[in-house]
Amino acid sequence: MTATMPAELRAAFEEYERAIVADDVPVLDASFAPGPATMRGDHTGLLVGHDAISAFRSGRGGVPPRTIERVEYRPLGEGGDVALLVSTSRYRAGGTGLQTQVWQRIDGRWLITAAHVSPRAQPLDRSIWRTVGDPLRPAAAEGALTGLTVAVKDLFAISGHRIGAGNPTFLDAARVERTTAPAVADLLQGGAAVRGIARTDEFAYSMAGDNPHYGTPPNGALPGALPGGSSSGAASAVATGQADVALATDTAGSIRVPASYQGLWGLRTTHGLVSTHGVLPLAPSFDTVGWIARDGETLQRVVDWSLRGGERERPASDLQDAELPRRFAVPVELLADLDPATLDAFSAFTDALRTQTDSAAHDLCVTDVSLGAPEEFAATFRTLQAAEAWRAHGSWVRRHEGALGAAVAERFRRAAAVTPEEEAEALTVAASLRDRIRRLVLDDVLLLPTVPGPAPSRSAGEFATERTRQATMRLTNPASIAGLPSVTAPLLTVASPLGPAPVGVSLIGRPGSDAALVRLARRLMTSMTQRTEEQ
């Protein structure tokens, strides 16, 4: 170490280093200066404020064993109370890292006021990817999607590979696929290349994005937050720039939730519009194939190719080319599930739309509408999803006791208890609910927040995560039950303990209006962006 470094600063740095390896959270918290101005950044993003850094720390875990090889000290300014430390570290398991810290003497103690960490290089983030290539599968032809790379959720068949479903026991016994799912083949035929197979929550029976076997993928928009699931790895690959498009599935929100949590665009397609052949099922009555992208233009390219072109003939649908009216209906009962910051942001968003209605945009209309009791939708969906999930995987679950993580195992345990009578009753209720929603979208597009609030912290407990899941499903269930297309766009930004966070706004349209719905969402984004720039 540099001889001129103050002894008190050297002691504070060494104490911090011991604490970070041991994951001693109280010492780490005490090492950072209190207040809203303290900063910490790394490859996943920037955290501002001691509270946000503390929330990140509580769920991060310690770093692997390492040795500090070099520390460079530079005093900053006059008085000797501010210093820059740059240190290099070597990990016992190989690789090096770099830490840059600004320390300040505050009330007689040296504390970190800003830090940036460059971790050791990760050739493959196994929390995001099961396997990758350069590419894993090249494009089959030149086309509209040439230049795009795709992260494929680990539920789709790709010839020469196995389906892993987010569970190592299932993967070990899976057969090698002989054919490729049509949804994958269409993208290849359009000129896209498969970058790799991305992680999923176990059997896609979760919304959080955590996986007890492979780890939790990073949230590319909000460091320290859950990524959202079950299309967790694929969404994180897109958010972190490792792929341009995610090919994913959505049963209860598995495209919409991670897209919202990570500031992405996502489309759940009309049920049955895109082939699910070669896709591991969860609940076939609700399973859909869709896509996630970083921007609306890329999503539109994929949608236009896959729904109106592609490798095979599609059923004709004039709605894909027609323009939807800018008539929005807000389901008022669902707003009760929003956290206060998200409710305020969504209210400001709809107020801005209504202001447009009162000015030049005479074709735009925003009204309130009633869907009925959210819990009726939620209870009906839970019953039917559980019954179908047990039919799809119950025999495997019985044969492999202990192979599932606790949360998904508990869901399958409840699924096994659904009786035929309960399922039959739920089917009757679902038919009524489906008709109610489809009548509403004949003339209007439903408009609502995609999720109740920002992505929860990775350190959120099991109870808080489950509570968020239930609240989220009350927002996502209407489109799932009615089999309708739903696009989510990153139109809101709200405060969270981890910093400013994205929250998506969902548009739900009539059956077959998928491409038109994406176009409408893009126009809405453009309109709101222009309004913000003018203010």
By annotation, the residues acting in catalysis are 153, 230, 254
Q: Which residues pair with 100 in a beta bridge?
A: 86, 116
Here the tokens at position 130 are: 């099961």
Main-chain dihedrals φ then ψ at residue 195, nearest 5 degrees = -75, -40
Residues listed for the chain: 535
Cα 306 off chain centre by? 22
Cβ partners under 8 Å of residue 424, min gap 6: none
Pairing of strands 445-449, 327-331: parallel
Q: Which residues pair with 70 in a beta bridge?
A: 88
Three-state DSSP state, 39: strand
CB-CB contact of 115 with 102 (8 Å): yes
- Cα separation of 271 and 484, whole Å? 6
Burial of 164 (0-12, 13-18, 19+ CB in 10 A): buried
Pairing of strands 365-369, 327-331: parallel
Nearest to 371 by CA among 297, 438, 289: 438
Pairing of strands 109-118, 39-42: parallel
Using CA atoms, how far residue 5 sits from 12, 73, 75, 78, 358, in Å, is: 11, 6, 8, 15, 65
CB-CB contact of 292 with 246 (8 Å): yes
Place of tokens 């981890």: 498
Here the tokens at position 144 are: 């509209």
- Cα separation of 433 and 377, whole Å? 7
- Cα separation of 367 and 353, whole Å? 10
Using CA atoms, how far residue 121 sits from 95, 232, 320, 429, in Å, is: 7, 22, 44, 53
Cα angle 381-387-390, degrees, rounded to a multiple of 5? 130
CA atoms within 13 A on the CB side of 16: 24
